Amino acid sequence: MISELAITFFAWLALVLISVNLIGMFVRGLASNPEIDSLALEGTDVVKKVAREHQSAERRMNVFAMILIIVYLIALFYFWNIGVAIAAITIMVVRIPALLWEIKHGRQNIKHLPAPYMLTIPAMFLAFPILWYALYRM
């Protein structure tokens, strides 16, 4: 039983690491940066051009991140089972609200994260029992 929990914990850490980074790439591409948007509207021609290129690169990265997420979830389902994929989806969905707040208010203000958003951090542990069940009882 202890070895099952240890293996599940390390698998959960791997899922958290990969899932949070993938959803971060995707959501950051969806949320526009107000500073870049203002530079694209007002500024010199060179600054406008660079801002438009940056926005175009963000859209391409967003499509790439979506493809990576789909491939990641399909690989989890194919090599393990639907329970592992559900655990990864749970981690991704739980991370979205805090990530949107972080994008809106800046990373330096993360220590002022409101209580409802703080609940998303321990909610990532919901994936742990799902993952354990998927690995050892399915």
The span from the CA of 5 to the CA of 25, in Å, is 30
Mean pLDDT of the chain: 83
Q: In this predicted model, what pLDDT tens digit does every residue of 4-38 receive, in sequence order?
A: 889 999 999 999 999 999 998 898 877 766 666 66
Look at phi and psi of residue 32 and say left if phi exceeds 0, alpha if psi is from -120 to 50, else beta: beta
Q: In this predicted model, what pLDDT tens digit does every residue of 51-61 receive, in sequence order?
A: 677 677 778 88
The span from the CA of 58 to the CA of 49, in Å, is 14
Backbone angles phi, psi at 19, to 5 degrees: -65, -45
Using an 8 Å Cβ cutoff, are 15 and 131 in contact? yes
From 90, 89, 107, select the one nearest 98 (Cα to Cα).
107
Q: In this predicted model, what pLDDT tens digit does every residue of 58-79 receive, in sequence order?
A: 788 888 999 999 999 999 999 9
The span from the CA of 127 to the CA of 16, in Å, is 9
Please calculate the CA angle 100-114-91 and round it to the nearest 5 degrees. Answer: 50
Confidence of residue 84 (pLDDT cuts 50, 70, 90): very high
